[in-house]
């Protein structure tokens, strides 16, 4: 009758070790594939970018169309555009890095830097930290991944001497001759919207404040609404 060998403790431990090793090797392969997919997706995905745009006084007060120069990473036209020897070698559906290997245009980076000039409308009333978003103008995505967005960070100008800003409201310290303060009269002041004439009541003293409604800045997002100009009279 057949006799079956009885496994020793050493045989059992070796078999268990082999099983654990096979399990770990399988898990390692699965993790490696997952890592490569994640890394490929991160490389091929677009990315948001940001650029600063100085805003002049006219744009601050009235809004203005301005030009902004950007430098963005776009798909390499040779290896990622589906044409040329490099793209044809790996196939148009291959991972971007494979298609970029040995490319003479991008040096294997799959993207090239391209300078562009964009025309944007800057609404009035921009304050520090305001941003405009241009969809699809950031770093380009590859293999069907969407492009990132471009955020334009607006940098307002310094106001003319004597002005101070409080949101959409403006403060102005205006020097007025002492005799005008005593007897009253009309003085002029230059604002972001142009010159205005101010009636000084007789008997005014230095430090008196007058309000010019609607002579401030536009509210961001509400261009038809303006703040006020608060004028503080100073004797000179």
**CATH fourth-level superfamily of 163-235:** Urease metallochaperone UreE, N-terminal domain (2.60.260.20)
What would the two tokens of residue 195 be?
């010159």
Rounded distance, CA 132 to CA 121, Å? Answer: 9
Query: In 45-127, where does DSSP find H-type helix?
Result: 57-62, 84-90, 96-100
pLDDT at 36: 43
Check if 49-155 and 163-235 are the same fold: yes
pLDDT at 104: 85
Rounded distance, CA 122 to CA 68, Å? Answer: 11
Among candidates 26, 192, 171, 178, which has minimal Cα distance to 124? Answer: 192
- Whether 174 and 198 have beta carbons less than 8 Å apart is answered as yes
pLDDT at 209: 94
pLDDT per residue of the chain (236 residues) written in tens, 0 to 9: 343 445 555 555 566 566 655 665 555 555 544 444 444 445 688 899 999 999 988 889 899 999 999 998 888 888 876 544 555 455 556 777 777 788 888 888 888 899 999 999 999 999 888 999 999 999 988 877 888 999 999 998 888 888 899 989 999 999 999 999 999 999 998 888 889 999 999 999 999 999 999 999 998 888 888 999 999 999 98
Sorted by where each begins, the domain ranges of the chain are 49-155, 163-235
Secondary structure (DSSP) of 166-178:
ETTEEEEEEEE-H
pLDDT at 221: 85
Please state whether the predicted TM-score (pTM) of the whole model is above 0.85: no
CATH architecture of 49-155: Sandwich (2.60)
pLDDT at 93: 61
């Amino acid at each position: 009758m057949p006799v079956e060998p009885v496994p020793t403790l050493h045989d059992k431990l070796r078999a268990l070790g082999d099983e654990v090793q096979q399990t770990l090797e399988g898990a390692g392969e699965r993790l490696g594939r997952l890592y490569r997919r994640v890394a490929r997706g991160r490389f091929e995905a677009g990315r948001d970018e940001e650029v600063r745009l100085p805003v002049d006084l006219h744009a601050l007060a009235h809004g203005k169309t301005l030009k902004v120069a950007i430098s963005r990473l776009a798909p390499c036209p040779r290896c990622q555009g589906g044409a040329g020897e490099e793209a044809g070698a790996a196939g148009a559906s291959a991972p971007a890095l494979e298609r970029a290997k040995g490319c003479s245009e991008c040096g294997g980076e799959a993207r090239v830097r391209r300078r562009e000039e964009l025309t944007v409308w800057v609404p009035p009333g921009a304050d520090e930290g305001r941003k405009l978003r241009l969809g699809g103008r950031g770093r380009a995505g590859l293999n069907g991944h969407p492009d990132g967005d471009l955020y334009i960070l607006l940098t307002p100008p310094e106001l003319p001497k004597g002005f101070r800003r409080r949101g959409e409201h403006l403060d102005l310290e205006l020097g007025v001759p002492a005799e005008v303060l005593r007897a009253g009269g009309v003085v002029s002041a230059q604002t972001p919207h142009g010159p205005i004439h101010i009636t000084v009541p007789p008997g005014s003293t230095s430090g008196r404040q007058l309000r010019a409604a609607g002579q401030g800045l536009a509210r961001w997002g509400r261009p038809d609404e303006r703040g006020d100009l608060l004028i503080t009279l100073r004797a000179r």
